[in-house]
Chains A and B, each alone.
Chain A
Amino acid sequence: MPRRPGLPPPAAVLALLLVGAPAGAEPIAPADRRSGFDQMGPEIQAMQRDETANPGMLAVADGAELWATPPAPGRQPCAGCHGEAAVGMRGVAARYPAWDARTGRPIDLQDRVNACRRTHQGADPLAYESPDLLALTAFVAAQSRGMPIAPPDDPRLGAARAEGRALFEARQGQLGLSCAICHDDHWGRRLGAAVIPQGQPTGYPLYRLEWQGMGSLQRRLRNCLTGMRAEPFAYGAPDYVALELYLATRAAPLPLETPAVRP
């Protein structure tokens, strides 16, 4: 029913909104949050756990080498400013995406790596999904393995986080699905051969058997968007970072698993 401008909303609607808000605040309560790891078969779990069998460790080893190598002669390597990654990068991935004061917007970990290349190393940014960007990001994220996801309590992130949540809950694409329909309402059920996970971003970048390779969280989100027959955003789009921000809030305090393995 159209409301005439200037009139206050009907009291009943207002009451519903007030009652609705707290219930919608946490579709999956922190104690009920589960990593996709828990729903995998024992073979794939064993593959992730065993550092010598986990193919993601190959990327982490590549990242360790890139960390110590100057991007061009005369330029500082990452290690030149940040030192030992096990010390300087411990816990960093657990609080990304974070606010970037330089550009005045939230950025995720891979964009943070590229920001350092551009600003502090005078080098070109690495392409999204390129082996080097995945390797450096996986290497940095692996330093936080086992630490609980802890999104920063930074009011500047609020708007993007709310936008991410709206994207997560909005129906989109030709099938009229939302992320929430699968990942909040039907996790644990089957979709064809796959068990629907809660959609927790705990392991990225990770090795996916279906990809036969490493991929970022944005690549995973592209896959889900394509599955919904929605138009995926371009890599690096603010929409992805907004979704990643909401996903981090929705996942805390699950521990980070990078490099995870997924079917």
Chain B
Amino acid sequence: MARTLINLPKTARAGDVITIKTLISHPMETGFRPGADGRILPRNIVTEFVCRFEGEEIFRAELFPASAANPYLTFTWVATASGRFTFTWRGDDGFDQTESAPIAVA
């Protein structure tokens, strides 16, 4: 499992715009670089990130080989109700990881 750091407020008021920040540990190997033995290292990147709130998609990003290692994605959301976010990263070699975090909206 890749290490992730997810940051969002624990609570918000309805109508607040909150910022969600995510960071995942991933080499984002481009598929264009030679390794120590001179052979091209196989591409190994995260290709897709999706954030859902209570199952409904609220943010999606596609990633490509030029992205830096350990992709950092930040986006905003208008607080509507209490519930749970899920964060899913998918990529090469069957990479598939989901994390979640709650928010309480008053």
Q: How far is the CA of A57 from the CA of B24 in the complex (A)?
A: 10
**Inter-chain contacts of A51 with B (CB < 8 A):** 5, 7
Tell whether A212 pairs with B69 under 8 Å between CB atoms, given A57-B5, A58-B5, A61-B5.
yes
Tell whether A53 pairs with B70 under 8 Å between CB atoms, given A58-B5, A61-B3.
no
Tell whether A55 pairs with B23 under 8 Å between CB atoms, given A209-B68, A212-B69, A213-B69.
yes
A62 interface neighbour in B3, B7, B27, B28, Cβ under 8 Å: B3
Chain A minimum-CB-distance residue to B2: A58
**Inter-chain contacts of B3 with A (CB < 8 A):** 58, 61-62
Give the distance to chain B from A130, nearest Cβ to Cβ, in Å: 15
**Inter-chain contacts of A61 with B (CB < 8 A):** 3, 5
Q: What sequence of 0s and 1s flags, for each residue 67-90 of chain B, a beta carbon within 8 Å of any chain A beta carbon?
A: 011101010000000000000000
**Inter-chain contacts of B21 with A (CB < 8 A):** 50, 52-53
**Are the CB atoms of B68 and A53 closer together than 8 Å?**
no
Interface size on A, residues (CB 8 A): 12
**Inter-chain contacts of A62 with B (CB < 8 A):** 3, 25
**Inter-chain contacts of A55 with B (CB < 8 A):** 23, 25, 69-70, 72
Q: What sequence of 0s and 1s flags, for each residue 1-38 of chain B, a beta carbon within 8 Å of any chain A beta carbon?
A: 00101110000000000000101010110000000000
Q: What sequence of 0s and 1s flags, for each residue 40-82 of chain B, a beta carbon within 8 Å of any chain A beta carbon?
A: 0000000000000000000000000000111010100000000
Give the distance to chain A from B70, nearest Cβ to Cβ, in Å: 4
Give the distance to chain B from A197, nearest Cβ to Cβ, in Å: 22
Chain B minimum-CB-distance residue to A211: B69
B23 interface neighbour in A52, A209, A212, A213, Cβ under 8 Å: A52
Q: How far is the CA of A209 from the CA of B74 in the complex (A)?
A: 19
Q: How far is the CA of A213 from the CA of B27 in the complex (A)?
A: 8
Give the distance to chain A from B65, nearest Cβ to Cβ, in Å: 13
Give the distance to chain A from B38, nearest Cβ to Cβ, in Å: 20
**Inter-chain contacts of A50 with B (CB < 8 A):** 21
Q: How far is the CA of A157 from the CA of B6 in the complex (A)?
A: 43
Q: How far is the CA of A17 from the CA of B6 in the complex (A)?
A: 58
* Chain A residues with a Cβ under 8 A of chain B: 50-53, 55, 57-58, 61-62, 209, 212-213
Known: A53-B23, A58-B5, A212-B28. 17 other contacts (CB 8 A): A50-B21, A52-B5, A52-B6, A52-B7, A52-B23, A53-B72, A55-B70, A57-B23, A58-B3, A58-B23, A61-B3, A61-B5, A62-B25, A209-B68, A212-B68, A212-B70, A213-B69
- 17 pairs, A vs B, C-beta closer than 8 Å: A50-B21, A51-B7, A52-B7, A52-B21, A53-B21, A53-B23, A53-B72, A57-B5, A57-B23, A58-B3, A58-B5, A58-B23, A58-B70, A62-B3, A212-B27, A212-B68, A212-B69
